[in-house]
Amino acid sequence: MDMIIDPWFYAAAVPAVLLVGLSKGGFAGGLGILGVPMMALVISPLQAAGILLPILIVMDLMGVWAYRKSFHLKNLMIMVPGAAVGILIAALTASYLSDNFVRLLVGGIAVAFALDHWIGRRAAAAPKQVNRTKGTAWGAVGGFTSFVAHAGGPPFQIYMLPQKLDKKLYVGTSVMFFWAVNLIKVPPYAMLGQFEISNLSTSLMLMPLAPIGMWMGIKALDLIPEEPFYRFAYAALFLVGCKLLWDGATGTFM
């Protein structure tokens, strides 16, 4: 099968990949979650995840080099094994998950993430300590949601943000965590047929956008106020999530 040529797909995929690159480059950090929901408006969410994975790995390599000396090893040693368990569970159940169920899951994550941003964090509290039980549990949730929709950011943030690490240390830990998670996903994605010629050729077509998106993210930190971008991006995330919830619900119950 040849690569995807539907212009509507690229109308969704090009901004999606650029937004993921912006996020990986450090601008609007958590908004990389928007990639799969945007592409899932046009194709299957699982296929969207398969197309994005090689692109994410290229972005990860750039981030790993940039943050190779700045990451929290103890957290990684706790969260990565947990993520591997979550990925295994997702891989074993993937064949039983319908596209509509995945749309509901991805849409729910997107809406919840936007609402959490708007509602805001509670009053400042003392920094939390590394916790093996919580780290393993949230790592597993992150591995599962990352497998089905590259949406591991919210579970990672739920565990890591309360520790109030230095910004560079936090970002570096995030980069290393998702690099490991994305590499772990490669074998099960291959076994599920996500690296067929159609998906890989489409990934290659979109691949040049990876460094462009990351460069835009790095430059945007200096040139564009984050607040207006966040307002727009979270609004878009919420609307896309609502659309996926509607599509998943009507497809499942009607």
Q: What is the pLDDT of residues 187-244, one digit of tens each?
A: 999 998 889 888 999 999 999 999 898 888 777 766 767 577 667 767 877 887 888 8
Share of the chain above pLDDT 90, in %: 35
Q: How far apart are CA 175 and CA 161, in angstroms?
A: 14
Most confident of 2-6, 32-36, 210-214: 210-214
Q: What φ, ψ does residue 187 adopt, rounded to 5°?
A: -60, -50
Q: How far apart are CA 160 and CA 157, in angstroms?
A: 5
pLDDT band at residue 1 using 50, 70 and 90 as cut-offs: low
pTM for the predicted model, two decimal places:
0.82
pLDDT band at residue 32 using 50, 70 and 90 as cut-offs: confident
pLDDT of 3 above 80: no
Return the pLDDT at 230: 66
Which amino acid is present at 106? V
- The residues spanned by each domain of the chain are 7-253
Which amino acid is present at 18? L
Biggest alpha carbon distance in the chain? Answer: 55
Q: What is the pLDDT of residues 164-201, one digit of tens each?
A: 888 778 888 988 999 999 999 999 999 988 898 889 99
Return the pLDDT at 206: 95
Q: How far apart are CA 159 and CA 21, in angstroms?
A: 23
Q: How far apart are CA 228 and CA 247, in angstroms?
A: 29
